Amino acid sequence: MIDLCPRCRIQAPHRPGRERCPRCGGPLSVVDDTGRTSAAQVGQVPAHGPGRPRPTPPPGRGAAPAHTGGLYRSRDVRWIARRPPEAIPARRGSAGYRGPRLIPRYVYIPAWGLHDEPSDPAEAHRQLDASRARLVLALMVVGTALAVSAAVHLVRYILLVVNRDAPLPEWLIVASDWLTIFSGVVAFLGFVLATWAFMRWVLDLRADTYESAGLIDPRRPGWVAALAGVPVVNLIGAPLVLKEVAAARDGGADNALVDRRLRKLWVAWLLVNLTAALAIVARLVAWRSESLQTGANALTMVIVSAAVSAAFAFWMARRIRMLFDAAAAVPVPTRRWVAVG
Q: What is the pLDDT of residues 159-186, one digit of tens each?
A: 888 877 778 788 888 888 899 899 989 9
Residues of the chain with pLDDT under 50: 39-54, 57, 59-70, 329
Q: Do 145 and 252 have their domain in common?
A: yes
pLDDT in tens, 81-98: 777 787 788 877 665 666
Residue 77 lies in a domain: no
Residue 293 lies in a domain: yes
Q: What is the Cα–Cα distance from 224 to 198, expressed in whole angstroms?
A: 11
Residue 54 lies in a domain: no
Residue 170 lies in a domain: yes
- Domain extent for 11: 1-39
Residue 338 lies in a domain: no
Q: Total domain count for the chain?
A: 2
Q: What is the pLDDT of residue 63?
A: 45
Q: Do 174 and 277 have their domain in common?
A: yes
Q: Do 151 and 295 have their domain in common?
A: yes
Q: What is the Cα–Cα distance from 198 to 204, expressed in whole angstroms?
A: 10
Q: Do 160 and 18 have their domain in common?
A: no
Residue 94 lies in a domain: no
Q: Do 138 and 281 have their domain in common?
A: yes
Residue 280 lies in a domain: yes
Q: Do 163 and 293 have their domain in common?
A: yes
Q: What is the pLDDT of residue 44?
A: 43
Name residues whose C-beta falls within 8 Å of residue 274's C-beta, 6 or more positions apart in sequence.
none
Name residues whose C-beta falls within 8 Å of residue 24's C-beta, 6 or more positions apart in sequence.
5, 7, 8, 64, 72
Q: Do 141 and 278 have their domain in common?
A: yes
Q: What is the pLDDT of residue 189?
A: 94
Residue 91 lies in a domain: no
